[in-house]
Structure 1
Amino acid sequence: MKRLLLILLALWCTTSAFAQGEASNWYFGFGAGLQFNQATGTVTPVNDGQLTTNEGCASISSSTGELLFYTDGTTVFNRNHQVMDNGTGLFGNSSSTQSAIIVPKPNDINIYYIFTVDTGFPAGSIDSGLNYSEVDITLDGGLGSVTVKNFNLLARCSEKISAVLKDCVDNSVWVVTLASQNGDLNTFDTYHAFQVTDTGVNSTSVKSTFPINISDRRGYLKLSPDGLKMACANMDGTFGTGLLDDVVYLYDFDSQTGIVSNQQTLSISTNSPSPYGLEFSPNNRFLYVHASNNYTAQDASFNDPASHASTLAQFDLEAADIQASEYIVDERQLYRGGLQLGPDGRIYRALSATYNQGIPFLGVINNPNEQGAACNYNHTAIDLFPNLSSQGLPPFDQTLFNLEIDIIQNGQSTTNLDLCDGETYTLISEDIPGATYTWLRDEVVLPETDFDLVVDETGHYELIIDPNTGDCFVEGQAFVTVHDVPVANTPGDLLICDTDNDGFFSFDFVETTAEILDTQDPALFAITYY
């Protein structure tokens, strides 16, 4: 087991300490939003969003979790939910599957790139292709301004886009989309990987061409958090029938070169087989697919929720036969929708009744690293009312969701640790030969340099491991709270009469519990009666 862990550790990397903060605020659908609090592990719906988008959206926050800006691919809103200076007229589209993705400029905390992909719908409309715009967050009093707008990279492309870290040396990022070889046709067979470095966006892509001929732009493209796999949802089927090329293409991705290889084909076995949403589990083992029966505006029953059906499926990428590993997580009357990993390690599912009719909930896969039913899907996990989910959720640089190590190791999927005064606990990681261990409490470096640390004080503890092999740093964290030792206050006497003389007595300890706890928080302290 130790050897296996060392292999995994070499693959874990992040761009900065706990950079998942960049994905702390989501805005999507019809006025909907979520706020992730990494310290408490809570997810809170918010009502201040300004988006009205059927599909595409993107959000970005600071590394510490403060909202910076968000967009539907055409209009950019600042942290005050106002239109950003020069923030209109971007060449995305709210009807594009992944209308936009926001990538911070490597090694520059003030510059962000908004990559946009247009839509070809309705038929005959002009497709603006792949473009990027630049935001300087220091301008307009810190609210940001769009300083470069709609720099064209490809004249035509699909509605698909994803991003992942290239390496931890210069923190450069790959942005990948699907288009034709020269980016000038409306049928697609080539993946273009554009490198974003601290000098800007390289407009010359790394191309990977395959014997495919995709004419339908719709569906998600996702890279795995470790940057080793890529999946492409292809809805290139006959409208309303689910026939003809409704498949997911699965690939290997070389994060050092940007080359895509080893195409495999996966299909959904139900009557709603047209793949749309995609997401990888945090441990990179499972691929989740949200598919539909693909009724569109060309169908008379397009606006009837009863005409739509969807499937949520799981595939085990470590199985000898990946297709045979298909597990149907959920199947019901529902329109298509996106899937997105959250900073809490859960996968969120966008829900929509029809193209134009949203739903006031998000579904959640609570344990996406687990196989089959153990993944624990909750269809109405997040209540968004009065706002609505539609088909899209904001994509991010997938590296943000690469696994952090668990330094608490108490069998609970949380970074919170509660102790009583006088109690100690040992935070621990894998002992990697030759590695350097740096422990911090409340951002102050501690003198301890071993792979474990005994704690007995309240604080935010961080561990940063440098393998000293050229690989990325490994990180873990724990929010430790030390509480006063509980006091059992003496309650008043309870007098019970056996009024029916049957020898049995019924006691209600509700009021007694409150007396015993007094001012102590019942959410933290429990009472057991004997």
Structure 2
Amino acid sequence: MTWMKKNLAVALFMVILGSPLLSLSQNRCSYVTPRQTDNWYFFQNAGIKFTDGSVNANNLPGNNLTSGNGTATFSDENGNLLIYSDGMKVWNSNHNEINFGPNLAGDAGATQAALIVQRPTLNQILYIFTTDLLLPAPLGTDGFNYAKVDMTANNGAGAVLERQNHLLDQSSVMLTGVANAAQNGYWVVTHGAGNNAFYAFEVTAAGVNTDAVISNVGAVLDTDYSKSELIGAMKISPKGDKIAYASMGKQHI
């Protein structure tokens, strides 16, 4: 990613337990790597495929991602590619665009532009969560949103059924997820803009719960685009007991 290549200080902020979000997931089972993450697509038509312990770089033909930063890829339980997205458009395993209309509400320039989550007990339904850069007026932002994909639609080629389902008016472009404590769903987490809030949205068999669990802790991330504090990356530990983010604009740890 471009921001990672720059010789800039980043802030690494870690939360260890203690927040409403993390207390819900800290007792989850040991992590087992799923085949849903076997394929990784990047921009400039690059990719990595993980298969039975081997790693093949640049071995994913047909990649439509040509420029930008953040991408998301999702495969089935056997490691077969299903869809990939740059937060704006969505392609299936045949590398055909399946959004059939307006773009999703993300921004390909965001460092973590998209995250794809499968709906529990209804595997053909995938949710794509997207972040959007908070740009100076009059451009603004589309905020934090999600789209719904049905892989059985369009004669099995897949189609975006819903798009731009609004969750937050504005947020950082940091986005991550983890299985919940009951192992029957997922938490999707982003950081707020102009505050110190982590927003966690749960995905279960019922769909996306649009009422977030909000945890206020740590530094406030400024909304001034020139400070770049909303740009960065975030990750939750596999056990769900730690969360960390790196902000491009912060100068402390």
Same fold (TM over 0.5): yes
- Matched ranges for 1:68-79 at <5 A: 68-79=82-93
- Matched ranges for 1:487-526 at <5 A: none
The answer as to whether partners of 2:187 and 2:200 remain within 8 angstroms in 1 is yes
The answer as to whether partners of 1:76 and 1:87 remain within 8 angstroms in 2 is no
SS at match of 1:22: helix
Counterpart residue number, 2:251? 246
Superposed structure 1 runs of 4+ greater than 4 Å apart: none
CA distance in 2, matches of 1:87, 1:33: 27
Q: Deviations over 1:44-68 (max 9, x none)?
A: 4224200123211110000100100
- Matched ranges for 1:11-50 at <5 A: 11-14=29-32, 20-38=34-52, 41-46=54-59, 47-50=61-64
CA distance in 1, matches of 2:151, 2:208: 18
**Structure 1 residues 217, 66: CA separation in 2 closer, same or farther (over 3 Å shift)?**
same
TM-score between both structures, scaled by the size of structure 2:
0.81
Counterpart residue number, 2:157? 143
The answer as to whether partners of 2:28 and 2:180 remain within 8 angstroms in 1 is no
Counterpart residue number, 2:78? 64
Q: Deviations over 1:127-171 (max 9, x none)?
A: 1111000000011121101011110000110001100000345x2
For residue 49 of structure 1, what is the amino acid of its counterpart? N
The answer as to whether partners of 1:76 and 1:88 remain within 8 angstroms in 2 is no
CA distance in 2, matches of 1:201, 1:85: 20
The answer as to whether partners of 2:197 and 2:216 remain within 8 angstroms in 1 is yes
**Structure 1 residues 53, 195: CA separation in 2 closer, same or farther (over 3 Å shift)?**
same
For residue 174 of structure 1, what is the amino acid of its counterpart? W
- Matched ranges for 1:265-280 at <5 A: 266=253
Q: Is 1:116 matched with 2:118?
A: no
Counterpart residue number, 1:221? 234
Q: 1:165 aligns with which of 179, 183, 191?
A: 179
CA distance in 2, matches of 1:159, 1:116: 8
CA distance in 1, matches of 2:171, 2:28: 35
Q: 1:130 aligns with which of 111, 120, 144?
A: 144
Counterpart residue number, 1:500? none
Aligned pair count reads 220
**Structure 1 residues 217, 200: CA separation in 2 closer, same or farther (over 3 Å shift)?**
same
For residue 216 of structure 2, what is the amino acid of its counterpart? T
Counterpart residue number, 1:458? none
**Structure 1 residues 175, 233: CA separation in 2 closer, same or farther (over 3 Å shift)?**
same
Q: Deviations over 1:470-506 (max 9, x none)?
A: xxxxxxxxxxxxxxxxxxxxxxxxxxxxxxxxxxxxx
Counterpart residue number, 1:198? 205
The answer as to whether partners of 1:113 and 1:135 remain within 8 angstroms in 2 is yes
Q: Deviations over 1:3-58 (max 9, x none)?
A: xxxxxx984144xxxx62101111112111122212x5232422420012321111
Q: Deviations over 1:203-243 (max 9, x none)?
A: 1111111252212210001101121110011222xxxxxxx
The answer as to whether partners of 2:145 and 2:167 remain within 8 angstroms in 1 is yes
Counterpart residue number, 1:175? 188
SS at match of 1:220: strand
Determine which structure has greater relative contact order: mean sequence separation of CA pairs < 8 Å that are 6+ residues apart, divided by chain length. 2
For residue 172 of structure 1, what is the amino acid of its counterpart? G
Counterpart residue number, 1:104? 118
The answer as to whether partners of 2:39 and 2:73 remain within 8 angstroms in 1 is yes
Counterpart residue number, 2:17? none
Counterpart residue number, 1:517? none
